[in-house]
């Protein structure tokens, strides 16, 4: 077994690998850029080596720097995590030449499966179902249009070396192909150094299912069941679970055996994932097709660990050291249900715009990597596990992926795992930047999610007008009214005590007028708590200044995040933000005399919605534009975002040019 390994990655996956290595008695070496000098993974590792500036292209993506760090520290092996160099054949070859073990698959398998075009050819030869499409070199946009017309719309354009949702565009007609083909090429080149694109048929009502593969260097290859990854946004996975609510035992066996056959055909060993697209329109479950094989650990691997009890990172290390798998296919079971939500630095209330900045407050519902025992191991603490790589006071920068953390829950049933997600998300405290905690909580509560009727179009179909918060019923609003009244009395009493000028002669108000979500509640806390005259059995504690309160009303438990506002409170719980107006009952009638402030009209400005790089500007001063016409392209978090005209108008003034770095809310141009 290795005595020391180096992790050629950063963030939560670096923490993840270090934790398992520590448990195995293996020393670890971290490599870090300028931006990560104070990151948790650097502190966790036994040794750390600085490898360059913040941009990944100048640090984490330079193989020579990784190898130099191995030589300087005596690391015998490298775990690449995911992303960066994890699927780059040249890196694995360089390590081999230097006598350093690669904790991953053989070079031949990476080469065969890393190229989406070649991998489809190999899959077809191995007898695996493949999606109809064009597998070959596409010359230009006109060629792409001809191919798409022949396949039939809708089609998906994908960068050959792409991954993580980057370098992908869905086209419903020729116009979409013309608009998107060059963007796919650019994203492929910028993110992966390869601008080749392939086109394939887009499966209607698709579900995204993937099979976890694990093999050793002695010819043993197993499948560790499936994961459902259908809930995606812009082809980036948001929610993953294991097992899938759609897959039957018969279907699982058929998928698993085909995926093992593919892995065997390329001489695969280590952990890997075969991604499949499944037609949800086929009740037999037999319409599944090969998408790609990821020759690395997946972001969503924890859900597989939860239901199988197998530490995938440990197995990767053991396989790389030449050990045989200590279990067989018959030993692989399904125990309970696991769900993972990706907590991203993006603002769902503003169209999911990327959000960078400092984590002014970061408190996960359970410790991330603070202990290295089994208390927060594969299934977490009481079924709640947090995989993270950030810290309070740290920064989520523009240089790397916007994921803050992964929240994983495990329960005996799917509903139990989902309920644990809702409770844990309520207790996830993040301040300083936008995040998607409310959004994923809303998904966990959504009737369609709870029914298991999922497709990759779930988010687009269920939130066509964007996200404004989870639906909240009247009973919950009433409960929040009681909590708000309790807090208001506690705050008033605290203010009276601090002031001290009335010698305690004046009692704080006990009767409140509370308005939430357009509904009015009369809340009284005299001898017992009532809302609109009905007694509410509220149990809670609150000290003015608390950011998170725990409350129980009957058999319902709430975790409510609290933020003072001008007229009362901002209360966040169960995936929704509630602006709560709280006034003493005797003052409330006077509010009808207040003048409403009308927000300014900003429709004549094209405003940059996020910090980013202005890649292209399609119009100039004096140009006439139509509603929906692309005006500019802004790149943020390695993704291109097309900004379109909201109305027909004439460009009056242009304030920026291609190549400019723009701040959020920067005015790109002004319309007549």
The three state secondary structure string of 598-649 is CCCCCCCEEECCCCEEEEEECCCCCCEECCCCEEEEEEECCEEEEEECCCCE
Does pLDDT of 57 surpass 90? yes
Pairing type for strands 197-201 and 133-134 reads antiparallel
Please give the pLDDT value at position 518.
86
Please give the pLDDT value at position 373.
47
Q: Which residues contact 332 (CB under 8 A, 6 or more apart)?
A: 222, 223, 224, 225, 308, 310
Please give the pLDDT value at position 375.
45
Confidence of residue 500 (pLDDT cuts 50, 70, 90): low
pLDDT in tens, 5-27: 999 999 999 999 999 999 999 99
Cβ(314)–Cβ(210) below 8 Å: no
Q: Which residues contact 405 (CB under 8 A, 6 or more apart)?
A: 12, 343, 364, 368, 386, 387, 388, 389, 390
Please give the pLDDT value at position 399.
87
Measured CA to CA, the distance from residue 447 to residue 175 in angstroms comes to 35
Token reading at 176: 């979409």
Measured CA to CA, the distance from residue 204 to residue 220 in angstroms comes to 36
**Percent above pLDDT 90 for the chain:** 71
Does pLDDT of 627 surpass 90? no
State yes or no: cis peptide before 154, omega within 30 of 0: yes
The architecture (CATH level 2) of 206-462 comes to 2-Layer Sandwich (3.30)
Does pLDDT of 431 surpass 80? yes
**Which CATH number is associated with domain 132-201?**
3.30.1490.20
Measured CA to CA, the distance from residue 126 to residue 109 in angstroms comes to 14
**Which CATH number is associated with domain 475-589?**
3.30.700.30
* Bigger pLDDT: 140 vs 587: 140
State yes or no: cis peptide before 243, omega within 30 of 0: yes
Cα of 30 vs its chain's centroid, Å: 24
- Within 10 A of 284 (CB to CB), how many other CB atoms are there? 9
Please give the pLDDT value at position 534.
95
Task: Look at the block and give the residue holding tokens 């139509």.
Answer: 626
Please give the pLDDT value at position 496.
67
Cβ(261)–Cβ(254) below 8 Å: no
pLDDT in tens, 641-666: 889 988 899 999 999 999 999 988 89
pLDDT in tens, 362-373: 999 998 765 444
Task: For the chain, give every residue range classified as CATH 2.40.50.100.
Answer: 605-671
Choice among 141-150, 415-424, 499-508, 547-556 with the minimum mean pLDDT: 499-508
Confidence of residue 595 (pLDDT cuts 50, 70, 90): low
Q: Is 292 a catalytic residue?
A: yes
Catalytic residue among 87, 240, 275, 292: 292
Confidence of residue 134 (pLDDT cuts 50, 70, 90): confident
* Bigger pLDDT: 628 vs 101: 101
Local structure of 503: helix, strand or coil: coil
Please give the pLDDT value at position 372.
44
Measured CA to CA, the distance from residue 318 to residue 552 in angstroms comes to 47
Please give the pLDDT value at position 524.
95
Cα of 173 vs its chain's centroid, Å: 29
Task: For the chain, give every residue range classified as CATH 3.30.700.30.
Answer: 475-589
Please give the pLDDT value at position 121.
85
Local structure of 517: helix, strand or coil: coil
* Bigger pLDDT: 597 vs 54: 54
Per-residue pLDDT averaged across 508-513, rounded? 86
pTM of the model: 0.83
Choice among 86-100, 265-279, 496-510, 656-670 with the minimum mean pLDDT: 496-510
Task: For the chain, give every residue range classified as CATH 3.30.1490.20.
Answer: 132-201
Cβ(70)–Cβ(61) below 8 Å: no
Q: Could you tell me the CA-to-CA distances from 614 to 58, 193, 345, 658 in Å, in that order?
A: 22, 20, 20, 5
Question: Containing H/E element for 170?
Answer: strand 166-171
Does pLDDT of 423 surpass 50? yes
Q: Which residues contact 373 (CB under 8 A, 6 or more apart)?
A: none
Measured CA to CA, the distance from residue 210 to residue 227 in angstroms comes to 5
Summary mean pLDDT of the chain: 91
Q: Enumerate long-range contacts of 253-257, CB under 8 Å, 24 or more apart.
A: 254/286, 254/288, 255/209, 255/211, 255/223, 255/226, 255/288, 256/211, 256/223, 256/225, 256/226, 257/223
Does pLDDT of 284 surpass 80? no
* Bigger pLDDT: 135 vs 402: 402
Burial class of residue 51 in the structure, from the number of CB atoms within 10 Å of its CB (0-12 exposed, 13-18 middle, 19+ buried): buried
Task: For the chain, give every residue range classified as CATH 3.40.50.20.
Answer: 4-103
Does pLDDT of 614 surpass 80? yes
pLDDT in tens, 286-307: 778 998 999 999 999 999 999 9
Per-residue pLDDT averaged across 488-501, rounded? 74
Which of the following CATH numbers is that of domain 605-671: 3.30.70.20, 3.40.50.300, 2.40.50.100, 3.40.50.1970? 2.40.50.100
DSSP lists the bridge partners of residue 363 as: 429
Per-residue pLDDT averaged across 627-644, rounded? 85
Per-residue pLDDT averaged across 569-582, rounded? 96
DSSP-assigned letters across all residues of 227-250: EE---EETTEE-EEEES-SS--HH
Task: For the chain, give every residue range classified as CATH 3.30.470.20.
Answer: 206-462
pLDDT in tens, 123-133: 988 888 888 78
pLDDT in tens, 188-242: 888 778 888 989 888 878 899 999 999 999 999 999 999 999 999 988 899 999 9
Confidence of residue 493 (pLDDT cuts 50, 70, 90): confident
Rg (CA), the chain: 27
Local structure of 377: helix, strand or coil: coil
Please give the pLDDT value at position 283.
65
- The domain 4-103 having CATH identifier 3.40.50.20: the answer here is yes
| DSSP class of 348 | G
Please give the pLDDT value at position 553.
96
**Percent above pLDDT 70 for the chain:** 94
* Bigger pLDDT: 610 vs 564: 564
């Amino acid at each position: 077994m290795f005595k020391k390994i180096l992790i050629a990655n950063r963030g939560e996956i670096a923490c993840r690998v270090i934790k398992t290595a520590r448990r195995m008695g293996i020393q670890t070496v971290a490599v870090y850029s300028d931006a990560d000098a104070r990151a948790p993974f650097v502190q966790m590792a036994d040794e750390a080596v600085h490898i360059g500036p913040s941009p990944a292209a100048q640090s984490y993506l330079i193989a020579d720097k990784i190898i130099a760090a191995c030589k300087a520290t005596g690391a015998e092996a490298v775990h690449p995590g995911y992303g960066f160099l994890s699927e780059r054949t040249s890196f694995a070859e360089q390590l081999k030449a230097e006598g350093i073990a690669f904790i991953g698959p053989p070079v031949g398998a990476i080469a065969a499966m890393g190229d989406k075009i070649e991998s489809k050819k190999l899959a077809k030869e191995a007898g695996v179902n493949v999606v109809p499409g064009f597998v070959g070199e596409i010359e230009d946009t006109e060629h792409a249009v001809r191919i798409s017309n022949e396949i039939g719309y809708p089609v998906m354009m994908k960068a050959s070396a792409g991954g993580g949702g980057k370098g992908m565009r869905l086209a419903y007609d020729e116009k979409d192909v013309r608009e998107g083909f060059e963007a796919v090429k650019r994203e492929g080149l910028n993110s992966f150094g390869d601008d080749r694109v392939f086109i394939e048929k887009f499966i209607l009502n698709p579900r995204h299912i993937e099979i976890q593969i694990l093999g050793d260097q002695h010819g043993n290859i197993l499948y560790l069941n499936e994961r459902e990854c259908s809930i995606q946004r812009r082809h980036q996975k948001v929610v993953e679970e294991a097992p899938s609510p759609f897959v039957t035992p018969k279907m699982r066996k058929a998928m698993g055996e085909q995926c093992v056959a593919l892995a065997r055909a390329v001489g695969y060993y280590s952990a890997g994932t075969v991604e499949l697209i499944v037609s949800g329109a086929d009740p037999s479950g037999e319409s599944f097709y090969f998408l790609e094989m990821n020759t690395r650990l997946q972001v969503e691997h924890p859900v597989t660990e939860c239901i199988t009890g197998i530490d995938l990172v440990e197995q990767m290390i053991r396989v790389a050291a030449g050990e045989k798998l200590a279990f067989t296919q018959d030993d692989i079971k399904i125990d309970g249900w696991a769900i993972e939500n990706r907590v991203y630095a993006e603002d769902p209330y503003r169209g999911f715009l990327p959000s960078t900045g400092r984590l002014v407050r970061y408190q996960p519902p359970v410790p991330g990597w603070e202990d290295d025992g089994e208390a927060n191991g594969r299934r977490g603490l009481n079924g709640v596990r947090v995989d993270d790589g950030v810290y309070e006071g740290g920064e989520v920068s523009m240089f790397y992926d916007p994921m803050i953390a992964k929240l994983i829950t495990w329960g005996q049933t799917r509903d139990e795992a989902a309920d644990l997600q809702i409770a844990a998300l309520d207790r996830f405290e993040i301040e300083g930047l936008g995040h998607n905690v409310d959004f994923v909580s809303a998904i966990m509560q959504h009737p369609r999610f709870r029914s298991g009727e999922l497709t990759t179009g779930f988010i687009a179909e269920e939130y066509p007008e964007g996200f404004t918060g989870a639906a909240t019923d009247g009973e919950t609003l009433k409960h929040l009214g009681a909590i708000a009244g309790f807090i208001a009395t506690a705050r008033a009493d605290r203010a009276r005590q601090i002031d001290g000028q009335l010698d305690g002669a004046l009692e704080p108000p006990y009767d409140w007028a509370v308005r939430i979500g357009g509904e009015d509640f009369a809340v009284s806390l005299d001898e017992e708590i009532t809302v609109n005259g009905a007694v509410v059995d509220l149990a809670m504690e609150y000290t003015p200044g608390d950011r998170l309160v725990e409350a129980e009303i009957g058999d319902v438990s709430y975790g409510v995040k609290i933020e003072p506002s001008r007229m009362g409170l901002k209360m966040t719980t169960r995936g929704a933000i509630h602006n709560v107006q709280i006034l003493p009952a005797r003052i409330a009638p006077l509010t009808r005399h207040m003048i409403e402030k009308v927000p300014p009209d900003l429709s004549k400005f094209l405003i940059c919605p996020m910090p980013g790089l202005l890649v292209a500007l399609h119009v100039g001063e004096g140009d006439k534009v139509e509603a929906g016409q692309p005006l500019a392209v802004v790149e943020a978090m390695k993704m291109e975002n097309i900004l379109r005209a909201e109305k027909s108008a004439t460009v009056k003034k242009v304030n920026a040019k291609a190549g400019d770095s723009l701040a959020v809310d920067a005015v790109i141009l002004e319309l007549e």
